[in-house]
């Protein structure tokens, strides 16, 4: 079974955005465009990641594959649901009407 000790960072620029790297890899070695997008990395934790590990918003096997292929896994926030935007619009209308 594939396993890797990973370091997880939270983005200082983007809400709910996380970056997974091998613990031995450095953030400064990532592509400039990714570092610019991500902002200052805030270390969240180190963990042993195995393919069968349960993660909140990603499949561990996908994370491990991307780390092998690209050297990192970038977890973006989930897309906003259209109906949630409608609720906000409806509330804004009722506040002004």
Q: What whole-number distance in Å separates Cα of residue 84 and Cα of residue 82? A: 5
Residue 39 to residues 3, 6, 10, 15, 87, Cα–Cα distance (Å):
28, 19, 9, 11, 31
Question: How high is the pLDDT of residue 95?
Answer: 53
Considering Cα of 12, then 16, then 19, then 20, what sign does the dihedral take? positive
Nearest Cα residue to 74 out of 25, 28, 43, 37: 37
The answer to whether domain 3-96 has CATH 3.30.70.360 is no
pLDDT in tens, 63-80: 999 999 999 999 998 887
Longest dimension (CA), the chain: 60
**Mean pLDDT by groups of 10 residues along the chain of 97 residues:** 96 95 96 95 97 93 97 90 56 53
Question: How high is the pLDDT of residue 86?
Answer: 58
Taking a C-beta distance cutoff of 8 angstroms, is the pair 60, 50 a contact? yes
Q: What whole-number distance in Å separates Cα of residue 47 and Cα of residue 38? A: 21
Question: How high is the pLDDT of residue 68?
Answer: 96
Question: How high is the pLDDT of residue 75?
Answer: 96
Q: Domain extents for the chain?
A: 3-96
């Amino acid at each position: 079974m594939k396993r890797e000790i990973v370091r997880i960072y939270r983005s200082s620029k983007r809400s709910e955005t996380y970056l997974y790297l091998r613990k031995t890899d450095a953030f400064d070695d990532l592509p400039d465009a990714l570092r610019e997008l991500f902002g200052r990395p805030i270390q969240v934790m180190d963990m042993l990641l195995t393919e069968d590990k349960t993660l909140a918003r990603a499949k561990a096997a996908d994370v491990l594959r991307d780390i092998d292929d690209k050297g990192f896994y970038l977890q973006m926030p989930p897309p906003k649901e259209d109906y949630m935007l409608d609720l906000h619009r409806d509330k804004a209308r009722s506040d002004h009407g």
